[in-house]
């Protein structure tokens, strides 16, 4: 039996910027126009502000003029930009801007956190926090043979504080997968490479007449930072034994 030893590595990169900017999440209807999202107030736990848009009602016939409908709404978010609630009704007059920082127009502050609107057409909340970003392209598709495969996945600790990893887990939709872990703490500005050992051979056969199997692995981290995005890699496995009828 072969034994596999995998060691997570830390690599230094440029220092991360101070305070991470999170977008205020809001999904308007597909026919929405003039979408405006901005944070106007902030406290220790919540951002409040505007999330408005305009729609046009369909019409037909000569000389028909679509009727524009304004949807004035107030939204709340957590300090990571996740939408908490939406309520009908206009916020009222926008507060005066407190400052501008690059593309950010700041409307409210609370301690070291700020909120407002980014000129790139989204609302934001800037919260000092640990944070990570996947450096390995997420959601990729690879063609592999029906044999054990190493899948390296790299993250960057790009928040304001060192990233503390409480746990890491991986699941496979077909076959089996195991995972080495990063050091429990990844300093700001460093990367860490986790390696998934994926074994598609434990899915013994396929109904595909071409000997193909389709699978994916899903990697999940639990950290002390902002909620991160799960990492997914999809595979087309070739040379899989065909199941007997």
Q: Please check whether residue 106 is in contact with residue 116, taking contact to mean a CB–CB distance below 8 angstroms.
A: yes
What's the confidence (pLDDT) of residue 59? 72
Domain ranges of the chain: 9-15+132-238, 20-57+65-127
Backbone angles phi, psi at 201, to 5 degrees: -70, -15
pLDDT of 92 over the 80 cut: yes
For the stretch 45-86, pLDDT in tens is 999 999 999 998 777 667 677 778 899 999 999 999 999 999
pLDDT of 245 over the 80 cut: no
For the stretch 17-43, pLDDT in tens is 456 889 999 999 988 999 999 999 999
What's the confidence (pLDDT) of residue 18? 55
What's the confidence (pLDDT) of residue 10? 52
For the stretch 121-164, pLDDT in tens is 999 999 999 999 999 999 999 999 999 999 999 999 998 999 99
pLDDT (mean) for 78-98: 93
For the stretch 165-181, pLDDT in tens is 999 999 999 999 999 98
CATH number for the domain running over 9-15+132-238: 2.60.40.10
């Amino acid at each position: 039996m072969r034994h596999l030893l995998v060691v997570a590595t830390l690599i230094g990169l440029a220092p991360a910027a101070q305070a991470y900017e999170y977008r205020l999440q809001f999904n308007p209807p597909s026919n929405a126009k003039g979408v405006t999202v901005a944070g106007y107030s902030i406290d220790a736990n919540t951002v409040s502000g505007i999330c408005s848009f305009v729609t046009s009602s369909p019409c037909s016939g000569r000389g028909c003029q679509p009727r524009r409908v304004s949807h004035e709404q107030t939204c709340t978010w957590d300090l990571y930009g996740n939408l908490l609630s939406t309520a009908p009704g206009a916020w009222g007059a926008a507060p005066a801007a407190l400052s501008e920082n690059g593309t950010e127009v700041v409307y409210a502050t609370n301690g070291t956190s700020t909120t407002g609107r980014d000129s790139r057409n989204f609302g934001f909340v800037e919260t000092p926090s640990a944070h990570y970003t996947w450096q390995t392209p997420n959601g990729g598709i690879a063609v592999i043979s029906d044999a054990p495969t190493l899948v390296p996945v790299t993250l960057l600790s790009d928040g304001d504080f060192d990233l503390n990893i409480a746990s890491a887990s991986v699941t496979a939709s077909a076959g089996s997968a195991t995972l080495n872990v990063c050091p429990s703490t990844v300093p700001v500005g460093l990367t860490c490479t986790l390696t998934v050992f994926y074994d598609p051979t434990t899915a013994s056969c396929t109904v595909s007449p071409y000997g193909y199997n389709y699978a994916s692995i899903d990697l999940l981290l639990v950290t002390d930072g902002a909620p991160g995005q799960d990492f997914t890699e999809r595979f087309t496995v070739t040379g899989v034994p065909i199941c007997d009828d």
